[in-house]
Amino acid sequence: MEFNDVVYGRRAVNFFDPRRDITDGLLRQVLETAAQAPSSSNLQPWSLIVLRDPDAKMRLQKLAWNQPKVSEAPVALIVLADTDGWKPGHFFVEKNFREMVQAGIMDETRRKKFDEVCFSLYGSSQERKIAFACKNAAFFAMGLMLAAKNFGLDTHPMDGFDIDGVRKEFHIPDNYWIPLLISIGYFRSDKELMPSKWRKSYDEMVVRFDQ
Ligand SMILES: Cc1cc2nc3c(=O)[nH]c(=O)nc-3n(C[C@H](O)[C@H](O)[C@H](O)COP(=O)(O)O)c2cc1C
């Protein structure tokens, strides 16, 4: 698909065809395309819970304002943002550092400095930890929705859910923030899509505070 068709064609669709499944292979392609998202120091502090079975999706739906799209879509995703994803010793922090050294873009001797920068930018307060985790997971989630569209799928992002309830129900450890859920599947063709929503114009987005 053309880039503009992907961007303008992506919509938060309310109705999914419950009879059309997504193969594991297609889901994998969507997620691995989304994983090309940029991230702070390439730390990629996102993970996903993939729910396919009707019982699990219904358990999630009950905690998500009972929004039917959670269970009607073949796959419901719980996007996780790791607030510890900058910490020395963390599996992916260590992998990231090793990969950078192997690629020749980082020197072992700069490890202490790297850890200090990660701490000050991403770990020095609870606010920074959540911001680090959520902004990066949000880039990933956006990539996921665009990748899905490009592969002929539709999505619906949701933050209308009980975060503590979802954490408890799915045994999600405390280090993860849960920025959103995403339903993914095929739009139900006998339903009508709502008209496109308004967007801010250039002039409405651009601001200055120093003049
Ligand atoms: C983080 C996030 C959370 C959202 N949560 C919900 C939700 O819980 N329920 C819902 O019906 N729509 C939800 N939406 C969908 C928005 O209402 C929708 O994206 C917006 O109105 C623009 O419409 P469009 O995506 O079709 O262009 C959410 C969107 C985002 C990005």
What percentage of the chain exceeds 70 in pLDDT?
100
157: CA distance to ligand 1 center in Å? 6
Instruction: Determine the pLDDT at residue 112.
Output: 97
155: CA distance to ligand 1 center in Å? 10
Regarding the beta carbon of 197 and ligand 1, being less than 6 Å apart is answered yes
User: What are the extents of the domains in the chain?
Assistant: 3-84+126-191
Read off the pTM: 0.97
Q: Which atom of ligand 1 is nearest to the CA of 11?
A: 26
pLDDT bracket for residue 58 (50, 70, 90): very high
β-strand partners of 181: 78, 158
Round to whole Å and give the CA distance between 74 and 156: 12
For the segment 97-115, what is each residue's pLDDT rounded down to a tens digit? 999 999 999 999 999 999 9
Q: Are 54 and 73 in contact (CB under 8 A)?
A: no
Would you mind telling me the total number of residues written for the chain in this entry? 211
For the segment 68-78, what is each residue's pLDDT rounded down to a tens digit? 999 999 999 99
Instruction: Determine the pLDDT at residue 59.
Output: 98
pLDDT bracket for residue 147 (50, 70, 90): very high
Number of helices and strands (H, E) in the chain? 9, 4
β-strand partners of 75: 184
Round to whole Å and give the CA distance between 23 and 109: 45
State which fold the 3-84+126-191 domain adopts. NADH Oxidase (3.40.109)
Q: Are 29 and 149 in contact (CB under 8 A)?
A: no
Instruction: Determine the pLDDT at residue 56.
Output: 98
Regarding the beta carbon of 138 and ligand 1, being less than 6 Å apart is answered no
